[in-house]
Structure 1
Amino acid sequence: MKVPDLSTLAVDGKTAFEANCAACHALNAAGTDKGPPLGHDIYNPGHHADGTFFLAAKLGVRQHHWPYGDMPPQRQMTELQVAAIVQYVRELQVANGVGYRPHRM
């Protein structure tokens, strides 16, 4: 996963991500055997809007795209931390060729 020069908000997001998310999603959101790679195209903004990440942190996520099991809520994070994490993930995605694509079912 390529890591771009990050905006100030994304630098804060990287710090929050490493403290709260990397255990399952790996450094730079590359994914592990416990959590999916958030740089994957399935997480492009047209399929998983930014609000999806806020809901995931607040409520958790039932297993649906991947075989990793359910993600528990991450209520220890503030909305500002989640916003910074979303910015970080989006900047990683762009640097790795993942951009908005309309979702079609």
Structure 2
Amino acid sequence: MSHRGGPPFRSRLITASLCLLLSGCGGSDGESSSVGGGAESVAVTVPDLSDTAGRGADTFEANCSECHGATAGGTSEGPPLVHIYYEPGHHADFSFHIAVQRGSPQHHWEFGDMDPVPGLSDEEVNEIICYVRELQYANDIFTDAAGLAACQS
């Protein structure tokens, strides 16, 4: 009978810990998740944007880009939103509204907690979401066009 703290348990624990550690390193498709010097951490292809996403890009630039980068590729101050962590099935559109209204505790990255972003209307947040979703879709973060629901106005 194996004891809980014995070698087999310890070996499995070390293996699982290494897997978790390594799975958190690096971006998808060989893109780096490390950041530095204010440069965006993920290379982002910017598609032709819908009118809604274009307005969202302007609002994003004014309110979000300092931390998340001009094209949501992340910076040394905040994570990339063009990343699998933020695809619609993992972070639904409402989670962006909550983060803007209440802030967000650190949970995927080590940038610290996100503060609320005061002064944005629901319509402006929806436009930001549309911008981020169109960037994600163009960069193959998700492939089901249903994820572009915020762009349907």
TM-score, with structure 2 as normaliser: 0.64
Q: Cα deviation per residue 1:25-54 (whole Å; 9 max; x = unaligned)?
A: 011001001110000111000000000000
Give the CA deviation at 1:100. 6.3
Superposed, 1:85-100 pairs within 5 Å as: 85-99=128-142
8 Å CA contact 1:34, 1:68 repeated in 2? yes
Q: CA RMSD in A?
A: 1.1
Please tell me the residue identity of whatever aligns with 2:111. Y
Q: Cα deviation per residue 1:55-105 (whole Å; 9 max; x = unaligned)?
A: 00000000000000000000221111100000000000000001169xxxx
Matched, 1:51 2:94: yes
- What SS does the corresponding residue of 2:71 show, helix, strand or coil? helix
8 Å CA contact 2:137, 2:143 repeated in 1? no
Matched, 1:35 2:73: no
Greater relative contact order (Cα < 8 A, sep 6+): 1
Please tell me the residue identity of whatever aligns with 2:70. L
Alignment partners' CA distance in 1, 2:59 and 2:124: 6
8 Å CA contact 1:44, 1:100 repeated in 2? no
Matched, 1:23 2:66: yes
Aligned residues: 101
- What SS does the corresponding residue of 1:28 show, helix, strand or coil? coil
Please tell me the residue identity of whatever aligns with 2:97. F
TM-score, with structure 1 as normaliser: 0.93
What is the percent sequence identity of the aligned residues?
50
